[in-house]
A and B are shown apart, each in its own frame.
Chain A
């Protein structure tokens, strides 16, 4: 059973330009997939289509083998959550506690269930010390964590991170990536949308979008080895690999291997 399946997805906002063209992909349980692409390649659009915020012109999305339709979107959203780019524009509650509760309130959890979940997940995510705080007093990284707690509290097993680190400073970014790694180790399925190849290196599988189409799809090793295609997709390899590619295959084999190991050990 796949967790997320996309079949033949086409999407356009205004019939003039196709943002997504014939997208086909399948993501299994527990996988960590990074979806990379230059600005305008359709990455965020794909993320929104997968959670049903956008309706495609053609194609189907299946979450846990359940077809995504307007009727089923309520149930589907119990299984998949999305953390957006702007930490401020997804924080609904007046306090941290309110915000974590928001999703559960929509699912009609009882008060006892909500309090228990908030207690558990806020501790898990590390925001339990400031449940009464208002969002204006929190940092971007803290707000993103609150968003994660709210999603986990709904018992979701799949989380999409839509450029969730791009508005954070490098330290908060590193922190959040470490936390995502932890979530992955606990068995969650992670879909990470990013334009930063360094971040994408943490995932098992890389999907590269180019002008709305899937251009590359494979493991890190397979995708990163295709230097020409990466360049064609308007992405830049990490410095370690760019250096490795300048080295000769035979005479500097061990150097190249070392550089590759360095790249992948993150």
Chain B
């Protein structure tokens, strides 16, 4: 199962401008458990387009996408229930305002599962479970989603997709607009979800610090092409980072600076401040 892209291209009609980026002949496979992938690339590199193929919101103009065993090509196949595929691959968009609409948080979270024929009682149980998974108190269930802060709305929108119990979770910039604590909290949340449920998680982000700290696989898109698919350690040692419009994580930059200025024998590739400190301790007091 999982998601398999085979030479997938997607071209938009020429009159469309803005968010409509093409992707070219992309081949990649995503398993339906235990993956923690960060999808990165400059604005316009095709990340959102790629993500929207993963739950059959859009179809390839060339090539095929296989989701949960079903093959999707540019032609609409009457035998395939595309809607059902969205139960297996849950896509959370960047702005919760496009998603929240019910009077209570509970009802909103229940919308997803009930669209997939989950009973009212089961949906309620799932909502309670989902709200716990995103780190919010059960009392939030009775609140009006529009009275929540930005960070809380984000979590509710994620809970709404979690309640559908997808095997694969795709999130488009889930940490944007959050303060540094919020960002870290959310990423740790995803790690916990993965440990607890074994679901595969794909996160689209621009934040290289988070990518380095949390990802175990990174996919890089550049101008619609897949240019890197591997682990996070190798990625930040590549020379092509600037061509791909990617920056270095701050910890690496800072340690490199110290290393060059003071000729220290340290490995600058550390993921957190604490690890960086540990590395520096090795060469202290000399």
A and B co-occur in one complex: yes
| A-to-B contact residues, CB < 8 Å | 38-40, 136-137, 139, 166-167, 169-172, 195, 197, 234-236, 238-240, 242-243, 246-247, 251-252, 254-255, 258-259, 262
Residue of B43, B151, B181, B206 with most chain A CB atoms under a 10 A cut-off: B43
Per-residue CB contact flags for chain B residues 14-28 toward chain A (1 = under 8 Å, else 0) read: 000110000000000
Select from chain B the residue with minimum beta-carbon distance to A163.
B177
Contact of B273 among A195, A242, A252 (CB under 8 A): A242
Distance (whole angstroms) from the CB of A248 to the closest CB of chain B: 8
Q: Please classify the interface of chain B as helix (H, G, I), strand (E, B), loop, or mixed, using the class held by over half of its residues.
A: helix
Per-residue CB contact flags for chain B residues 155-191 toward chain A (1 = under 8 Å, else 0) read: 0000000000000000000000101110000000000
B235: CB under 8 A from chain A? no
User: Which of B1-9, B59-67, B122-130, B277-285 lies at the interface with chain A?
Assistant: B277-285
CA distance A172 to B43 in the complex (A): 9
Residue of A139, A240, A247, A251 with most chain B CB atoms under a 10 A cut-off: A240
* Chain A residues positioned under 8 Å from B223 (CB to CB): none
Distance (whole angstroms) from the CB of A215 to the closest CB of chain B: 16
Select from chain A the residue with minimum beta-carbon distance to B255.
A243
Asked if residues A243 and B277 are in contact (CB atoms below 8 Å), the reply is yes
Chain A to chain B contacts (Cβ below 8 Å), 17 pairs? A39-B179, A40-B149, A139-B18, A167-B177, A170-B206, A170-B247, A171-B42, A172-B43, A236-B179, A246-B273, A246-B277, A252-B280, A255-B280, A258-B258, A258-B262, A259-B254, A262-B254
CA distance A122 to B206 in the complex (A): 30
* Chain A residues positioned under 8 Å from B257 (CB to CB): 258, 262
* Chain B residues positioned under 8 Å from A166 (CB to CB): 177
B251: CB under 8 A from chain A? yes
* Chain B residues positioned under 8 Å from A235 (CB to CB): 179-180
* Chain A residues positioned under 8 Å from B193 (CB to CB): none
Asked if residues A238 and B273 are in contact (CB atoms below 8 Å), the reply is no
B150: CB under 8 A from chain A? yes
Asked if residues B284 and A171 are in contact (CB atoms below 8 Å), the reply is no
* Chain A residues positioned under 8 Å from B245 (CB to CB): 171
CA distance A258 to B254 in the complex (A): 10
| B-to-A contact residues, CB < 8 Å | 17-18, 42-43, 149-151, 177, 179-181, 206, 209, 245, 247, 250-251, 254, 257-258, 261-262, 273-274, 276-277, 280, 284-285
Select from chain A the residue with minimum beta-carbon distance to B151.
A39
Select from chain A the residue with minimum beta-carbon distance to B272.
A239
* Chain A residues positioned under 8 Å from B250 (CB to CB): 238-240
Q: Which 8 A-B pairs have the closest CB atoms?
A: A236-B180, A239-B250, A169-B43, A246-B277, A242-B273, A170-B206, A240-B254, A195-B179
Known: A39-B150, A170-B206, A239-B251. A254 touches B43 (CB 8 A): no
* Chain B residues positioned under 8 Å from A238 (CB to CB): 250
* Chain B residues positioned under 8 Å from A259 (CB to CB): 254, 258
Contact of A171 among B43, B209, B285 (CB under 8 A): B43
Select from chain A the residue with minimum beta-carbon distance to B251.
A239
Asked if residues B149 and A255 are in contact (CB atoms below 8 Å), the reply is no
Select from chain A the residue with minimum beta-carbon distance to B182.
A39
CA distance A259 to B280 in the complex (A): 13
Distance (whole angstroms) from the CB of B93 to the closest CB of chain A: 14
Contact of A169 among B177, B206, B209 (CB under 8 A): B206
* Chain B residues positioned under 8 Å from A195 (CB to CB): 179
Select from chain A the residue with minimum beta-carbon distance to B149.
A39
CA distance A139 to B150 in the complex (A): 23
Distance (whole angstroms) from the CB of B72 to the closest CB of chain A: 29
CA distance A197 to B149 in the complex (A): 20
Contact of A38 among B18, B179, B261 (CB under 8 A): B179
Distance (whole angstroms) from the CB of B179 to the closest CB of chain A: 5
CA distance A172 to B149 in the complex (A): 25
* Chain B residues positioned under 8 Å from A137 (CB to CB): 17-18
Residue of B43, B254, B274, B280 with most chain A CB atoms under a 10 A cut-off: B254
Select from chain A the residue with minimum beta-carbon distance to B250.
A239
CA distance A139 to B277 in the complex (A): 40
Asked if residues B18 and A236 are in contact (CB atoms below 8 Å), the reply is no
Known: A39-B149, A39-B150. A251 touches B285 (CB 8 A): yes
Apart from A171-B42, A234-B179, A246-B274, list 7 A-B contacts with CB within 8 A: A170-B206, A171-B43, A172-B43, A235-B180, A239-B209, A252-B280, A255-B262
* Chain B residues positioned under 8 Å from A234 (CB to CB): 179, 181
Distance (whole angstroms) from the CB of B155 to the closest CB of chain A: 14
Asked if residues B261 and A258 are in contact (CB atoms below 8 Å), the reply is yes
CA distance A234 to B262 in the complex (A): 33
Known: A170-B206, A171-B42, A251-B284. A239 touches B181 (CB 8 A): no
CA distance A170 to B173 in the complex (A): 12
Asked if residues A255 and B18 are in contact (CB atoms below 8 Å), the reply is no
* Chain A residues positioned under 8 Å from B150 (CB to CB): 39
CA distance A167 to B176 in the complex (A): 8
Distance (whole angstroms) from the CB of A143 to the closest CB of chain B: 12
Select from chain A the residue with minimum beta-carbon distance to B179.
A195
* Chain B residues positioned under 8 Å from A252 (CB to CB): 280, 284
